[in-house]
Structure 1
Amino acid sequence: MEKVMNKLRNLDAYPKINEDFYSRSLSGGVITLVSSLVMLLLFFSELRLYFHTVKETTLLVDTSRGEKLHINFDITFPATRCSLLSVDSMDISGEQHLDIRHDIFKKRIDPQGNVIEVKPEGLGAQKIEKPLQRHGGRLDHNETYCGSCYGAEMSDHDCCNTCEEVREAYQKKGWGMTNTDLIDQCKREGFIQRIKDEEGEGCNLHGSLEVNKVAGNFHFIPGKGLHQSTFNLFDLMALQAESYNITHRINKLAFGPSIPGTINPLDGVSWVQHNPHGMYQYFVKVVPTIYTDIRGRIINSNQFSVTEHYKSVEEGQTLPGVFFFYDLSPIKVTFKEEHVSFLHFVTNVCAIVGGIFTVAGIVDSFVYHGHKALKKKREMGKLG
């Protein structure tokens, strides 16, 4: 057993020196103090990096299919009335949604930007309890009222009991409502009066859209959008020159949930119309993004880049409005938050301690022997 202990003692890589042979110096104390401070500083720096999360970025081909694209927006039109603003969307697959109302809210605002009224578009128009007329003449006993569609009926049994239903019937025919004063339902609902009441006001629209994950566009236009063949038309309902002012501010535009640490390029962007009415276009390139935080929570969202273009009425047939044309990138970006591994942290700490200790020893040895050599030369000079 004693032989084994002796062999282990011979393997000692750190032989001890008797303290009687130590030679302590002032320079050695200063170097020890400085190296200890540097070592401590680097240790806390490494400790901070260990607790700090890092993002690992990966690029992949997007192979997802059949998903939906969620668009969240908050846009203010300071010179366009809420009654005349509508939201449409369409994509290359042929699917289109005109005058979208669900999940969209409108705020009437005054010229100073103060909110006058908030109304959800999904509620639709006010219903008329007793429309003024019925197809075919007088009503029989216990028969319900049925308003006229003014020539836009698809069958003898079709009814239009509100101004909105008349407009939708015209839309199916591809017609535009050019004179609402002659439509009893619109007169009774006070449609024209509502437009007059909003004179000089602006409008804030916020909400969300759910569209197919293919290239397409959505737009905000003054007037109720119709679709006939491949062209967008308008109901020219009481539209005046100021109604074509598409000055706007984008408070928020995001394609999916927010990603921590990411600022969307259009948030807070404003544009003021100085020329005659035209079309302001945003061409958006959407990049699918998956973000995984340190707790493993996954956020499926999108980032995007954008270019802008204004097309005035002088450049040809244009529709007044703000249009967002989006296309999707085939590349998906993944962000993953990670901590530095504990073994990596320990390795770096050992490298800091060992490296500084070795460098400090070299510096101390150089200073000590240099000082000793200079002292010896001075002594020899005195002797001579």
Structure 2
Amino acid sequence: MARLFAKLKAIDFFKKIPSDLTEATLTGAWLSILAAVIMVFLFTAELISFMSISTSTQLVVDRSPQNELLKLNFNISFPALSCEFASVDVSDSLGTKRMNLTKTVRKLPIDLDMIRVGSAVEDHSHKPAPKYDAEGHFDEEPDIDVTVPLSHVNFDATLARYPIVIVNFFAPWCHWCQRLEPTWEAATKEVHDKYPEWDGRIRFAKVDCTQEMELCRAHFIQGFPSIRVFRKGHDDIVIGGMHEHETYMGDRTKDALVAFADSLVPSAGQPHRKHVNLSAAPKTSGCNLAGFVMVKKVPGTLTFVARSEGHSFDHTWMNMTHLVHSFHVGTRPSPRKYQQLKRLHPAGLTPDWADKMHDQFFLSEHAQSTHEHYLQVVLTTIEPRRSRHTGSYDAYEYTAHSHTYQSDSIPSTRFTYDLSPIQILVQETKRPWYQFLTTSCAIIGGVFTVAGILDALLYQSFKVAKKLNLGKQG
């Protein structure tokens, strides 16, 4: 056993020098203290570095799940687009088209100063389009006493004379107006035969908006034909304390119009009552549209435009001036995730990092002006180390380029979005424990070795200097 231990001693890396063969020096003591201080300092710095979490940023192909939908959030005011016809449409490069989205969109009437003046407008886009009599149905009717269209000269006097006046605001070029014309004339004759002038309770009338543009604009007519009901000189209906127009939304057949007139006659001279075929049309010129839409993650367009299945529009009347209160992509981060994003984002967060169009105003200076905003969207995914899968957050940022042009089609406001196929992936990383051990050993060993070399150099230098000094003295 003793021989075995003797052989083990032969492979000792740390052979000891007898203490009586060593010499302690003051220089070595100072170097030892300095080396110890440096070791402690470097070790502490290394420990802090090991305990801290660093980030790595990579550019990768978008790893979003297949068929994942993207949320577009908006709040936009159009001071000259009535909520009666305002529509939100979505289309994309795959051929998907969705018209007049209503489930996640709120419409509020506003005035020219963009101040709310009414309650939320109920959208009738999913109701069946009004029926019409067959074309040519009244071609063989005997001569009909066609009511001469009202003008600004006699409009107010007519409203004041009859308790109930049903007015058809039309434009001769409008297809739907042309189709309604014979029906309206036939219904006018039958109603006036049934309720002659001496009865004086109801009157059918019409206004040519191409001749009486100011009169039609004063009543906020944007789509043709618009059938409004005036009682006691006005078409106001009070809903929730707000004044709005009454507009007829029923079928546009002779029987339907006559039946509608019959149902209104008993209320002549009585307090105002809402009719089943009447709907509130905002008594304002503008509309605020707010909400969100879910779209596929492919290039597409979000369009704001006037739309109706039973109306036509004069393009020169449409004014798409608008104020973008907010437009952002994706879901707003919670306060905790916002702080993570602010801390880990490669370039930090600017005040408009998620909403580059906040409070921007776009004016239609010319007729038939369409506004187009081109958005390039980039996805940044933040993956904190402690919750790599459950706590990750997708932050969408975009650049916006806007321009206005005149078009022959109906004016609109379009947000064209294009998503980058490259995703910015920011991950928190922590150094492995073995790197900490390796670096710690390197610090201790390196400082010890360097200090030993310096001590040897200084010791030998002092010896040489001492010998030279003794030689000079001898």
TM-score, structure 2 length as denominator?
A: 0.53
Deviation at 1:297, TM superposition (A): 1.3
Distance 1:111 1:16 in 2: 95
Distance 1:310 1:66 in 2: 33
Distance 2:107 2:300 in 1: 24
Deviation at 1:91, TM superposition (A): 0.9
* 1:218 aligns to 2:219 (yes or no): no
2:53 corresponds to: 53
* 1:345 aligns to 2:436 (yes or no): yes
User: What amino acid maps onto 1:248 in structure 2?
Assistant: V
Given the alignment, which residue of 329, 333, 339 partners 1:253? 329
| RMSD, matched Cα | 4.9
* 1:359 aligns to 2:450 (yes or no): yes
Q: How does 1:4-23 map to 2 (within 5 A)?
A: 4-23=4-23
Given the alignment, which residue of 356, 360, 374 partners 1:282? 374
Kept in 2, the 8 Å contact 1:78–1:248? The answer is: no
The size of the alignment, in residue pairs, is 325
Deviation at 1:95, TM superposition (A): 1.4
1:38 corresponds to: 38
2:67 corresponds to: 67
Kept in 1, the 8 Å contact 2:59–2:424? The answer is: yes
Structure 1 residues 70, 20: CA separation in 2 closer, same or farther (over 3 Å shift)?
A: same
**SS in structure 2 opposite 1:351?**
helix
Distance 2:328 2:67 in 1: 23
* 1:192 aligns to 2:193 (yes or no): no
1:273 corresponds to: 362
* 1:326 aligns to 2:418 (yes or no): yes
User: What amino acid maps onto 2:328 in structure 1?
Assistant: K
> Percent identity of the aligned residues?
19
Kept in 2, the 8 Å contact 1:66–1:213? The answer is: no
2:132 corresponds to: 151
Deviation at 1:67, TM superposition (A): 0.9
- Highest CA radius of gyration, 1 or 2? 2
User: What amino acid maps onto 1:88 in structure 2?
Assistant: D
Structure 1 residues 177, 322: CA separation in 2 closer, same or farther (over 3 Å shift)?
A: same
Deviation readout 1:151-189 (Å, 9 max, x if unpaired): 399xxxxxxxxxxxxxxxx9xx9xx83354533249954
Deviation at 1:53, TM superposition (A): 3.4
Kept in 2, the 8 Å contact 1:87–1:99? The answer is: yes
2:143 corresponds to: none
Q: How does 1:105-120 map to 2 (within 5 A)?
A: none
Structure 1 residues 366, 102: CA separation in 2 closer, same or farther (over 3 Å shift)?
A: farther
Gapped regions of structure 1 (runs ≥ 5): 127-145, 154-169, 228-232
**SS in structure 2 opposite 1:279?**
strand
**SS in structure 1 opposite 2:39?**
helix
Kept in 2, the 8 Å contact 1:105–1:118? The answer is: no
Gapped regions of structure 2 (runs ≥ 5): 135-175, 180-221, 229-246, 251-273
User: What amino acid maps onto 2:73 in structure 1?
Assistant: F
